[in-house]
């Protein structure tokens, strides 16, 4: 039988975030990042201060069998299985997992959770709040809907309710130092914890990352970075390798894309081949994709409107990553049709308590 993927529920954390705004309704652009490149990061040094406290970073994860508490939840990882051991749990007489592409295997974490919130509302944890990662610094999210049983992701729980169940993932066979990531954000706080899955799992950030300093390239809307220039923000290194537009762009967008729609009248798609590296020093997960790139007009206004799905392949950037991750792929924006050049704004969401203004940069696309 086929693996039942979470398409309806994945729409919120993954697919929707992969959308590219297209249209011709204008909103003011965000403030530019002038004078922000060298501002101190409010979170700079926090990881070092907490480095001796298990779970605060991937270097020192919480061991299997240790119960920890964050606001609203008690959590404990009780068992980890991968490969053939995981398949013995997944496969039953009633249900068989799909075969995986060469070089990949299933992984399972058995997790105990208890809702400790004090309000009367139900709470749940989802795929964007609990997932696996390893030394490739990528997200491996739960992929089987309701299986293996018992499963608790997306299930509503009320105060004092507890459950023990499985979180699954599909991981590269050779990947080491697998850990479970718990990343829960509230209105005014964010709790991120790391749990060891592989025996002796520990991931240290590249020491060279601590010496990377933001530069001034692309800070001003009036002076965007050009193709080939390495832009360095507080949390990201970005290089625009090349860009394409017009029919060539539409051909690439349409390939293997059942959700493809032609551009609206008066608009044109611009595809940007980007190289990115996530260099945040505080071990915080972050999403990056086409939704963080917006085309602006001559007045600095962004395009809004109907959405388009880029093809969901490895050639397109759109995923959650952890510090140290390097991505090489395409993002898509829409701008005025026939413009000599378009300025594209990179505006990632806020990460922790720091201002996302520190990461705003501008690129010119011809």
The token pair that represents 95 in the structure block: 């249900």
The per-residue pLDDT for 123 is 92
CA dist., res. 144 & res. 319, Å (int): 18
- Give the pLDDT confidence of 332-341 residue by residue, as tens digits: 998 888 888 8
The better pLDDT of the pair 361, 96 is held by 361
The per-residue pLDDT for 350 is 62
- Give the pLDDT confidence of 184-201 residue by residue, as tens digits: 987 678 899 999 999 999
CA dist., res. 36 & res. 234, Å (int): 9
Give the mean pLDDT of 111-124. Answer: 93
Instruction: Give the pLDDT band (50/70/90) at residue 35.
Output: very low
Instruction: Give bridge partners of residue 238 from the DSSP assignment.
Output: 231, 276
CB atoms within 10 A of CB 170: 20
- Give the pLDDT confidence of 314-356 residue by residue, as tens digits: 789 999 999 999 999 999 998 888 888 889 999 987 654 445 6
Q: Which fold has domain 60-196?
A: Immunoglobulin-like (2.60.40)
Domain ranges of the chain: 8-41+208-365, 60-196
pTM of the model: 0.82
CA dist., res. 319 & res. 137, Å (int): 11
Per residue, what are the HEC states of 54-81? Answer: CCCCCCCCECCCCCEEECCEEEEEEEEE
From first CA to last CA, the distance across the chain in angstroms is 48
CA dist., res. 282 & res. 79, Å (int): 27
The per-residue pLDDT for 147 is 85
152: left (phi over 0), alpha (psi -120 to 50) or beta: alpha
- Give the pLDDT confidence of 212-269 residue by residue, as tens digits: 999 999 999 999 999 999 999 999 999 999 999 989 999 999 988 888 888 888 888 8
Q: Which fold has domain 8-41+208-365?
A: Immunoglobulin-like (2.60.40)
């Amino acid at each position: 039988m086929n693996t039942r993927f979470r398409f309806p529920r994945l729409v919120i954390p993954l697919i929707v975030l992969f959308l590219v705004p297209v249209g011709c309704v204008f909103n003011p652009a965000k403030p530019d990042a002038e004078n922000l490149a060298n501002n101190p990061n409010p979170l700079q040094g926090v990881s070092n201060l907490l480095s001796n406290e298990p779970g605060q970073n991937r270097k020192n994860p919480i061991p299997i069998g240790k119960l920890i508490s964050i606001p609203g939840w008690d959590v404990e990882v009780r068992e980890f299985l991968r490969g053939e051991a995981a398949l013995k749990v997944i496969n039953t007489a009633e249900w068989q997992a799909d075969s995986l592409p060469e070089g990949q295997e299933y992984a399972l974490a058995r997790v105990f959770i208890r809702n400790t919130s004090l309000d009367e509302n139900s709470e749940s944890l989802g795929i964007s709040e609990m997932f696996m990662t390893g030394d490739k610094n990528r997200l491996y999210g739960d992929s089987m809907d309701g299986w293996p049983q018992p499963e608790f992701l997306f299930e509503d729980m009320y105060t004092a309710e507890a459950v023990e169940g499985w979180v699954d993932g599909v991981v590269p066979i050779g990947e080491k130092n697998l850990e479970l990531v718990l990343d829960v954000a509230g209105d005014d706080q964010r709790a991120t914890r790391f749990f060891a899955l592989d025996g002796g799992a520990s991931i240290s950030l590249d020491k060279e990352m601590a010496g990377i300093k933001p530069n001034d390239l692309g800070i001003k809307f009036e002076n965007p970075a050009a193709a080939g220039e390495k832009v360095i923000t507080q949390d990201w290194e970005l290089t625009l390798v090349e860009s394409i537009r017009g029919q060539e762009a539409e051909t690439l967008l349409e390939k293997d894309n059942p959700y493809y729609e032609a551009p609206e009248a008066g608009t044109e798609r611009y595809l940007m081949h980007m190289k990115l590296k996530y260099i945040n020093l505080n071990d915080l997960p972050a999403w990056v994709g086409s939704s963080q790139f917006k085309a602006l007009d001559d007045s600095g206004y962004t395009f809004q409107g109907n959405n388009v799905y880029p093809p969901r392949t490895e050639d397109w950037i759109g995923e959650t990553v952890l510090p140290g991750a390097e991505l090489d792929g395409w993002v898509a924006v829409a701008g005025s049709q026939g413009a000599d050049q378009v300025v594209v704004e990179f505006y990632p969401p806020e990460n922790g308590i720091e201002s996302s203004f520190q990461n705003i940069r501008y690129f010119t696309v011809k």
